[in-house]
Structure 1
Amino acid sequence: MKSTGIVRKVDELGRIVIPIELRRMMDLDIRDGIEIFVEDDRIILKKYIPNNSCVITGEITDDNTAYAGGKFVLSPNGAKALLEELELMV
């Protein structure tokens, strides 16, 4: 585990502030979900990504399709954006 050297205090309501540098690094936006894990004496925070959300757009639709054995999910809009970007590379 890598230390950031950042220390924050818990307020009277049990909240902590995640510094902007870390939110940018982890691509956390306002209202994004955070998963909380406990491992031994550690609290681990991870950006929540629903199982069926598109890896490109973040959309959750009934039309999303899983690829690579379910490891890669694309919405129709995400697939279109990916295809356009790949075509620019050729």
Structure 2
Amino acid sequence: MISTGIIRSIDNLGRIVLPKELRSSYGITPETPLEIMTEGEMILLRKYQPADACIFCNEVKPGTVMLHGKRICPTCRRELEKL
């Protein structure tokens, strides 16, 4: 795990602000669902993605295939073929 050196406090409603640099680096927008997990003394955040969602569009669609351990939906697969 890498320390960012950034310290934030929790407000009286239990909220914490993620620095803009982190949101930009990880592609987190106001619409991005985050999963909250714990491990020992740590609280971990990660972008939520359903287990059967496409790695590119994050949607669950019929016809999704596995490629190198990642799921790709038919729409994104067609887009990749155009490259």
Same fold (TM over 0.5): yes
Cα gap change, 1:68 to 1:79, in 2 (>3 Å): closer
Say if 1:55 and 1:74, in contact at 8 Å, map to a contact too.
yes
Which secondary structure does the structure 1 equivalent of 2:36 belong to?
strand
Deviation for aligned residue 1:72 = 1.5
| Stretches of structure 1 lacking an aligned partner (at least 5 in a row) | 86-90
**Compared with structure 1, are the counterparts of its residues 64 and 5 closer, same or farther at alpha carbon in structure 2 (3 Å cutoff)?**
farther
Identity of aligned residues (%): 35
- Dislocated runs of 4+, deviation >6 Å: none
Task: Quote the RMSD (CA, aligned, Å).
Answer: 1.5
Structure 2 residues not aligned, in runs of 5+: none
Q: How many residues align?
A: 83
Whole-angstrom distance in 2 between the partners of 1:9 and 1:68 = 41
1:64–1:19 Cα change, 3 Å: farther
TM-score by length of 2: 0.87
